Amino acid sequence: MNMKDLPDKELFTSGHTACPGCAAPIVVRNVMKILGEKTLVYNPACCLLVFGGTYPWVAWEVPYHHVAFENTGACATGMTRALKRMDRDDCTVLGMAGDGGTADIGFQALSGAAERNEDILYLMYDNEAYMNTGIQRSGATPFGAWTTTTPAGKVIGGKEQFKKDVAQIMLAHAVPYVATANLAYPADFLRKVEKAKNMKGFRFLQVYSPCPTGWRADTDSAIKLSKMAVETGLWTQWEADHGVVKINAKPKFTPIRDYLKLQGRFAHMTDEQIDVLQEWVKKKWERDEKWLGALSE
């Protein structure tokens, strides 16, 4: 489905309280346009929980469910299995969680659901920190980034570890579909969502989701940053259909400095730190090309 063919009807309504310029609602509305009304949504504790509803108001037009923070894989399991018991094979169960709820506290439930190959579409919207609680580092926060738990202090400046690659860990679960996606590449993004929709079993999408508030960036910068993340090589666009990998875009390796300087979260970084991150991008790409490349046809 291309952009112009997407239906007008919004299944995630206006009036939600995401910060201006947040990319997550862009992801949600367009994903829901593809998945359609026969979708059951599970949402753990995350920004999307809060901006998607404050009782008695809810933005979702489809069955919507929340239980806790660390259990998206488990709750979505309950939903998809119950549907099966009720002879409903016409619905999609969407688990949509942030990077904290996916890479960190929710990882066990995610891994369990993937191992059982539950019939779930799991979408990780990756805004690279715990934004709901006010910008604390997650396993998916990049090296050097300021967060409120990795402050730019006098001795230590920002996060000391590198970003955890959740999609590659999911690839190791040998599930039907794993992909990374990015809003700056809408055709690729929509194609992946549609592909995931039309498959059975466990499908994992990791979507880059800029957070202007937490990244200390302009409210209009989400799509620009999305594109730069791919062009610099910080974000690798790839997919694995039943274990067969395709890298969807080769980075241009534009200097990460241009990307970093648009975001206050990197403002404190020293030249040495930037060099470390630049080197990491190089190594990451070499590894991606080698590992992911080996699994391509």
Partner 1 sequence: MVKRVVTGNYAAAHGAKISRAEFVAAYPITPQTFIVEHISEFVNDGEMDCDFVRMESEHSAMSAMVSAAATGVRTFTATASQGLALMHEILFIGAAIRLPLVMPVVNRTVAAPIGIWAEYNDTMPQRDTGWMQVYVEDNQEVLDMVLQAYRIAENRDVLLPMMVNLDAFILSHTVEPVDLYGYEEADKFLPKYEPHVHLLPEDPMAIGTFTPPEYIQELRYQTDAAMEASKKVIGEVNKEFADLFGRDYGGLIEEYRTDDAEVVLVTLGTVTSTARKVVDDLREEGKAVGLVKLRFFRPYPTDELRAIADRVKAVGIYDRSIAFNNGGPSFIEAKSALYGYTIPIVNFLAGIGGRDVFYSDVKLMFETLLEAASKGEAEKDVIWMSTRGVDA
Partner 2 sequence: MFEVRFHGRGGQGAVMAAQALASAAFREDKYAVAFPFFGAERRGAPVLAFARVHDTKIYEKTQVYTPDYVVVLDDKLPQLVDVTAGLKEGGMVILNTREQPDEVELPTAVRCGAVDATGVALEVFGQPITNSAILGAFAKATGELSIEAVEQGIRDIFGPRIGEKKAEKNAEAARVAYERTEAGTCKAGKALDASKKWLPDVHDQPMGLATRKTETEAGLVGIGSFCENKTGSWRTFKPEYDADKCIMCQQCWFYCPDAAIKRNDERSLVSWDFDYCKGCGICASVCPVDAIKMERE
Which of partner 1, partner 2, none is residue 30 near (CB under 5 to 8 Å by kind)? partner 2
Q: With CB cut-offs between 5 and 8 Å by kind, which of partner 1, partner 2, none does residue 67 bind?
A: partner 1
Phi-psi region of 218 (alpha: psi -120 to 50; beta: other; left: phi over 0): beta
Tokens of 30: 């367009």
Q: Which is nearer to partner 1, 40 or 277 (CB)?
A: 40
Query: What is the H or E stretch that residue 92 is in?
Result: strand 92-98
Interface pick for partner 2 out of 35, 42, 43, 60 (rule CB under 8 A):
60
- For residues 178 and 51, what is the distance between their CA atoms, to the nearest angstrom? 27
From 12-20, 75-83, 96-104, 116-124, give the range in contact with partner 2 by CB under 8 A.
Answer: 12-20
**If binding is defined by CB under 8 A, does position 199 make contact with partner 2?**
no
Cα(218)–Cα(202) distance, integer angstroms: 36
Contact between 207 and 262 under an 8 Å Cβ cutoff? The reply is: no
Our finding on whether 20 is near partner 2 (CB under 8 A) is yes
Interface pattern 152-191 for partner 2 (x via CB under 8 A): -------------------------------x--x-----
Name the residue nearer to partner 1 (CB basis): 39 or 209.
39
Backbone angles phi, psi at 248, to 5 degrees: -85, -20
Taking CA atoms, 49 is separated from 9, 107, 216, in Å, by 21, 18, 22
**Residues in touch with partner 2 (CB under 8 A):** 3-4, 6, 8, 10, 12-26, 29-30, 50-64, 183, 186, 212-213, 218-224
